[in-house]
Chain A
Amino acid sequence: MKILYLEDHDFFANQVKRAINLLIPESSVTHCRTYDEASKQASISNYDISIVDFILTNGKTGIQFVENHKSNLGRIIFLTGCIDDPTINAISHYSSISKLESFKTRFKDFLNGTVVKIHE
């Protein structure tokens, strides 16, 4: 399984990759730290799952990335530290997990086909 992971916070990303490795040992995770890096990867390869941070550097957002590369990203899930109303509304059409929640548990639900949304 090919997973694209867009996240600029390295420390947090390491833990997420660790959790993914435990859940899906056979997966390969492509970790991108910036919008441009992820765009490049998405344009050259198709992914089964894409985990996208909402707030990116340089004023870009994960939603912009997703809308521009949707066809190559497979199943999409947002991972965000923002739980304000505009953010939740913007990603309401997608699965989402808050960074404060248990990533492993919620991602497991997502893999099983459940639609996961940020808990209020």
Chain B
Amino acid sequence: MNNFYTFLFLEVLFVLPLIIFDFILFLCVMVTFILWKIYIVTKIKKTYLEEQIQNNIDSYKKLEKIELSSKMGVNNELINIISGVNHEVSPWLGSINNIIECLDEEFSGNYLKRFDKQQLTEYIMQNLDDIKKASEQSINILSSISFGIKKFRNYSIFYANIYETLKTWLYLVIYSQSFKGIIDSTNIHLEKETLDFHVQHSQMLLSQILINLIKNTIEHNKQLEPHQIRIHIWGDANNKKIIYQDNGIGIPDNIKKEVCLGNYSSKDLISENTGGIGMASIVSYCNKMGASLEEIGEYGKGVMFVITFEKNLSDSSKVTKSPVGQGSGGYYNLEATSIHKLK
């Protein structure tokens, strides 16, 4: 009996710690495995979500810089359409591919032997109908995208809301190749003092005017980064104006008239890169829309272009002071604090 208890005691003394050690080791392995799994899942989710969040943050930062945030109703429809196109159209296009491949294999592999002539015809027609349906769906999706794009690239002249036009085009402008790498240093403010007004204009021409004005601001004021640009919409029953202002050098008085007639080339001025036809194009576009162009800024304090929509062209040699805003001499002052911010 003593031997038995001795044996038992020795067993407990040596084997039990081993069992406990094995159990602890097993627990450690399980915990490590669970933690590793959690880590991998977290890492994948974090990587994916972080990139998505960062993309959204980057997009909103760009919008904030030009003070056109989504709260102000920037039209993100076009951007959403374009980003979603791949997801929407690929199943339809992929289906066409798959139908043709399967049909090919079914014919070559004699899978359709069991069909009689009529059944085979019906089967083929069904496949053709499916291809037709998938094609139509793809075309519908792509058409809606092109319609969305066309909405913002309408060449025809029509009555439209000026503010909405400019807002949409400004949003698109910052993503255009023309401003790649440059637009980040430019702050553009779009404001309106009145309710939106409608006027006959061309979205395309108006956008070109805007692009050319912004290009001129950037090209002629390279030493003044960040640039400040303010586009102000003002109108009443008799006058409807778009006022473009920047914080650049401005235009000397002696050449204002020539600039507004489109007769002055900027090649003789600071920049070497300008083609010198930007202003001529702006004047031409204004003429086409029945709008007049004036420059009434103070030299040394930036340009102030006023585009006035009238039935008849105004005499561009007549320099009139803008009735809007506050500041000396009726000029719109960049430091004015009574700007009605958009909601």
Q: Which residues of A contact B (CB under 8 A)?
A: 9, 11-12, 15-16, 18-19, 22, 55, 63-64, 67, 81-87, 89-90, 93, 98-105
Contacting residue for B91 out of A9, A64, A83, CB 8 A: A9
Q: Which residues of B contact A101 (CB under 8 A)?
A: 94, 97
Q: Which residues of B contact A (CB under 8 A)?
A: 41, 44-45, 47-48, 51-52, 55, 86-95, 97-99, 101-102, 105-106, 109, 111, 130, 133-134
Q: Which residues of B contact A22 (CB under 8 A)?
A: 102, 105-106, 109, 111
Q: Which residues of A contact B111 (CB under 8 A)?
A: 22
Q: Which residues of B contact A67 (CB under 8 A)?
A: 41, 44-45
A104, B98: Cβ atoms closer than 8 Å: yes
A11-B95 contact in complex given A82-B86, A99-B90, A104-B105, C-beta closer than 8 Å: yes
B101, A19: Cβ atoms closer than 8 Å: yes
Bound-complex Cα distance A20 to B102 (A): 10
Q: How far is the CB of A24 from chain B (nearest CB, A)?
A: 13
B98, A16: Cβ atoms closer than 8 Å: yes
Contacts beyond the supplied A15-B99, A18-B98, A99-B93: 10 A-B pairs with Cβ under 8 Å: A19-B102, A22-B102, A22-B106, A81-B90, A82-B86, A86-B48, A89-B47, A89-B48, A98-B90, A100-B90
A99, B91: Cβ atoms closer than 8 Å: yes
A103, B98: Cβ atoms closer than 8 Å: yes
Contacting residue for B133 out of A11, A55, A82, A90, CB 8 A: A11
Q: How far is the CB of A36 from chain B (nearest CB, A)?
A: 19
A sample of 22 cross-chain residue pairs with beta-carbon separation below 8 angstroms, ordered by A number, consists of: A11-B130, A12-B92, A12-B94, A12-B98, A15-B102, A18-B98, A19-B102, A55-B87, A63-B44, A63-B48, A64-B45, A67-B41, A81-B90, A81-B94, A85-B51, A86-B55, A89-B47, A89-B48, A89-B51, A99-B91, A99-B93, A100-B90
A11, B44: Cβ atoms closer than 8 Å: no
Counted as pairs of residues, one from A and one from B, with CB atoms less than 8 Å apart, the total is 84
Q: How far is the CB of A114 from chain B (nearest CB, A)?
A: 18
A81-B51 contact in complex given A12-B95, A19-B102, A102-B101, C-beta closer than 8 Å: no
Q: Which residues of A contact B86 (CB under 8 A)?
A: 81-84
Bound-complex Cα distance A12 to B101 (A): 14
A104-B101 contact in complex given A81-B91, A82-B87, A83-B86, C-beta closer than 8 Å: yes
Top-9 shortest CB links A-B: A81-B90, A15-B98, A12-B91, A99-B94, A90-B48, A99-B90, A86-B51, A9-B91, A81-B87
Bound-complex Cα distance A99 to B91 (A): 6
Bound-complex Cα distance A9 to B95 (A): 10
Q: Which residues of B contact A99 (CB under 8 A)?
A: 90-91, 93-94
B44, A93: Cβ atoms closer than 8 Å: yes
Bound-complex Cα distance A19 to B102 (A): 6
